[in-house]
Amino acid sequence: MKSIMKSINAKVCNNCGIIYVPTARQQKYCADCAPIVAAAKRKEWRNMHPGYNKKYRKPVKKITFCVRCGAEYERTSNSQKFCVNCRSMAVIEGKQRWRLEHAESERMKSRERYYAHHNGESMAEKRAKREQLAKEMLQKREEGLTNKDIAKYLKLPYYTVFRYIGKEPIEYWKNAVRAGAQIRVQKNRIHSKAVHARKKIMCEIKVAEQQEVFNAALISLEEARKSEAEAQKRAHEAQRKLNELKQALQAC
């Protein structure tokens, strides 16, 4: 048994007596007993040294004065410096003071974030690119394009084109209104034609359905007439046979 324990580096727990594999050379207890023994030792040490924490802990001054307004208040911890009324304002003032002290570093950080977001372009490069884009927009306007057409051509939002070169001249708007009116008239004509064609188709469908119903009614009427004629023939035949039987009985 001892040879097997040596081969696997096993030990016997000093508390419960089971065999376990330690994770350190000085380990004396198994994983289940280690926290129990540690808690018992801490409790024993506290019982042997009563009042240790109270001896080395700084006493809390109950009554003190606020650093901001100078009012007398009762604090709950040694680090408390402000009364309840000044606490929120002290936090805001501290943030403002920090911003003023670190204004230059924050400005540099914001510039670095801006350059990183815009692919490392400086403000001058960005301004030159915008000027080139505005020239291209004005050139397209001279060719007779509207802001919407320019936005579609350059693949930009309409508001961007409007912000760069402003509104179109009045003649552009007049032509646009005239073209829009023509388009609306054409749309109305197409819509009216479509509505008329739809109504015509619906009428034809209703007529066809009525014709089918009428044909079915005619067929059922003819069948009823045929069945009625057959019934009349059977009735005449039965009446004839009855008359023959009456004549035979009279002759007897």
d(CA 112, CA 109): 5
d(CA 150, CA 139): 10
Which residues lie closer than 8 Å to 150 by C-beta, 6 or more apart?
Answer: 137, 140, 141, 156, 161
* Higher-confidence position of 104 and 59: 104
d(CA 76, CA 62): 7
Question: At 38, is the pLDDT very low, low, confident or very high (cuts 50, 70, 90)?
Answer: very high
For residue range 125-147, list pLDDT tens digits in order: 777 888 888 888 888 888 878 78
Residue 65 is inside which H or E element, if any? strand 63-65
- So what's the pLDDT on residue 173? 52
For residue range 210-242, list pLDDT tens digits in order: 888 888 878 888 888 888 888 788 878 878 777
Least confident segment among 114-123, 134-143, 202-211:
114-123
d(CA 204, CA 220): 24
For residue range 67-105, list pLDDT tens digits in order: 888 888 888 777 888 888 888 888 889 888 888 888 888
Least confident segment among 65-74, 107-116, 164-173:
164-173
Question: At 172, is the pLDDT very low, low, confident or very high (cuts 50, 70, 90)?
Answer: low
User: How buried is residue 83: exposed, middle or buried, by Cβ count under 10 Å (0-12/13-18/19+)?
Assistant: buried
- Average pLDDT (41-55) is 81
13: pLDDT strictly greater than 70:
yes
* Higher-confidence position of 84 and 186: 84
Please report, for residues 59, 116, 139, the alpha-carbon distance to residue 129 in angstroms, rounded to integers and kept in the order given: 67, 17, 15
Q: What is the mean pLDDT of the chain?
A: 79
Least confident segment among 98-102, 107-111, 181-185:
181-185
- So what's the pLDDT on residue 98? 87
Torsion angles phi and psi, residue 185, rounded to 5: -65, -45
pTM above 0.75, yes or no: no
Torsion angles phi and psi, residue 37, rounded to 5: -65, -40
Percent of the chain with pLDDT over 70: 84
CB of 126 closer than 8 Å to CB of 118: yes
d(CA 182, CA 189): 11
CB of 76 closer than 8 Å to CB of 62: no
Handedness of CA 79, 83, 84, 86 (dihedral sign): negative
Which residues lie closer than 8 Å to 66 by C-beta, 6 or more apart?
Answer: 72, 73, 81, 82, 83, 86
Whole-angstrom Cα Rg for the chain: 53
Residue written as token pair 């479509």: 194
d(CA 151, CA 165): 12
